[in-house]
Each structure stands twice: as C-alpha cells, then as structure tokens.
Amino acid sequence: MKIAVAFSGGVDSAVCVRLLQEQGHDVEAWHMLTLAAEPAPAVVALAEALGVPLRTVDLRADFEREVVAPFFADYAAGLTPNPCCRCNPRLKFGLLRQAINGPMATGHYVAKAHEPETGALTLRAASDAAKDQSYFLYALTRDDLADVVFPLADRTRAEVVSLARAWALPIPEARLASGSQDICFLPDGDYRPELRRRHPETDRPGDILSPEGRILGRHQGLANYTRGQRRGLGVATGGRAFVVAFDRARNTLTLGPREALLTRTFRVGPVNWLVPPTFPLACQAVTRYHHPPFDCLVHADGRVEAAEPQTLVTPGQACVFYRGPYLLGGGPILPEQSHD
C-alpha cells in the first residue's frame, strides 16, 4: 500500500517510516511547513537516509491563523491554552490530510480501536502510558480516523529510540535522549515576550491581593499568570501561596492556599464526542496532560461533577474523557463565569 507519513523529522516519525517500509509499504514523507519556507537541512537529510521522497505542504499562514494567533488571544483573555489540541485536528489531520488525499500514518503514541460498550471507532491509550498522546487528539472525528495508521501504538519510547539507534538514523543523540513536549513556536518555552508584543494591553500592572482583599504587591499583567501558579509571584506571604482568582474588571489577582484551588464542579465545551454518550455519563476525566484520571459524571450541558475535589482545573486547558483506556471525547474547560 502507498502510505504517507506525517514527517516532522523527529525520532518518532522517522521510525514510523522505517517500520512501514519493513512491512512492504510504498512510503512517502510529508512535512508541514509551519514556521519556515523550507524544511530544515536535518529533515531533508533524514528523508534521504530513509530513502523516501520528501513532500512539503506550506501551512505557515494556516498555522498562524489556526494555532499561533488563537494561542496568544486565549492567554490575553485569561485562558491557559494547549496549542497541540488545536494543531492536530486543524492541520495534521485536517489540511495535511487533505493534501495527502490517501492513507496517512503519524508518530503518535496511540491506537485505533472500537470502544467495547458501544462499538464506536475511537482511540485507545498507547501501551506506553508515559508517552500516550490520546489527550491531544480528543477533537478528532471518526472520519479523521479513517485510513490513518499509528505504527507506534504498542511500542514504548525506549523501543523506538533503540530502533533508531540500531538503524543508525542520522538523528542527534541529544534528540534521541530527549522526551520533551516543547511548544514548537516557543523554543525557549516563554510565551510572555510575544504575548506583550501581540497584546500590549496584557502588560498592564495591577494589585495582588490576599483572600481578605489586602494588597500584597503588584503583578505585571494578568496574562502573565495562570491559575495555580506558585512561582515567580514576587511577593512574600509567609507561606505557600497560589494564584486562585482573577478580577479582570479591577485588574487584580488573588493569592490563596492550595485548598482554594479545589474544584468539584466545572463546565466543558464545546465537547467533541467520538463515542456517543448517554447522560449522565459516568467516566474518567483528565484535565492536564499526564495528570492522573479521576472519576466523574458528565451532563448534557457540559457540566462535570468530579467524585473528589480537583486542583488542576484550568480554563482553556482540555478536559478529556475516558472509559478505561478508551477515548470518549473532550473539550476546553470553560471559565467559571461562562454561560456559552
């Protein structure tokens, strides 16, 4: 079969190419251009070493419109976004898939499967729990999963790295050893300088308050902080203090104890369901990548009731629902005052 691999030039996509070649497939490498007009020399060299044609799709304008600009707009609005949850359905499984117009493979650590209770086509968490990436794919549809292959579904990261070394693929050792999940358009991980450039209004200082309303210090713009943040606050409180609330009308943020972060009920929306739900739905939820799942009830209006109070419920992050290892669906966590 002729199959196209979504080819970043990293370890996972390179091993996908070689695994599919060993299975006898006619493989092409398809590379999304999101930040530069040409693929990096290392990407070209890796495709040549694998003996596959390298196709490129210029998605720079789409990447800016669909991923980068919304990322900074969300931060300016007081949310904490996850750009990978937008990039996957809109670009990799959207525009890139349209350009390929045929079977596609990706290096995601996830498996296609039918959810046992309903028989619906969905995703199953990868066997390597430390690398499972189903969380980032909650917004896919069953149509998106048609003709898609995940060669790394039942392999661990250690196995993939071992294969890359055994095949002597031209990948730097530092990249083989790294398991980081850095945001590709923020190589140093700091979003704040670009946020200030794009949204200068977010740089307006204001008061930092205690739970009783006492002024503790000054913040450097609300968008520079996230709910639950403890470090870099620049104030002394005499104990462990966390960002627990924002008041955008007054341009203040409030610090408090960890207990003030506990949330039992919150809302998610819009929710994309891969497995048709019956409400109220008893399942497990994950509100941050690699955060342990917790039992919950999901209602038709997107209201989620956690069995136990949770701390990592941050507006803008994804809440993804599972039944065991099977992905049911998910959506962004809404701000408390939202009635969308």
C-alpha distances in angstroms, 148 versus 58, 102, 330?
21, 9, 20
Residues with catalytic annotation? 87, 184
Cross-strand bridge partners of residue 304: 266, 298
Is the separation of the CB atoms in 85 and 136 below 8 Å? yes
The three-state (H, E, C) secondary structure of the chain, written as one string:
CEEEEECCCCHHHHHHHHHHHHCCCEEEEEEEECCCCCCCHHHHHHHHHHCCCEEEEECHHHHHHHHHHHHHHHHHCCCCCCHHHHHHHHHHHHHHHHHHCCCEECCCCEEEEECCCCCCEEEEECCCCCCCCHHHHCCCCHHHHCCEECCCCCCCHHHHHHHHHHCCCCCCHHHHHCCCCCCCCCCCCCCHHHHHHHCHHHHCCEEEECCCCCEEEEECCHHHCCCCCCCCCCCCCCCCCEEEEEECCCCEEEEECHHHHCEEEEEECCCEECCCCCCCEEEEEECCCCCCCEEEEECCCCEEEEEEEECCCCCCCEEEEEECCEEEEEEEECCCCCCC
Would you put residue 148 in left (φ > 0), alpha (ψ -120 to 50) or beta?
A: beta
Q: How many CB atoms lie within 10 A of CB 16?
A: 25
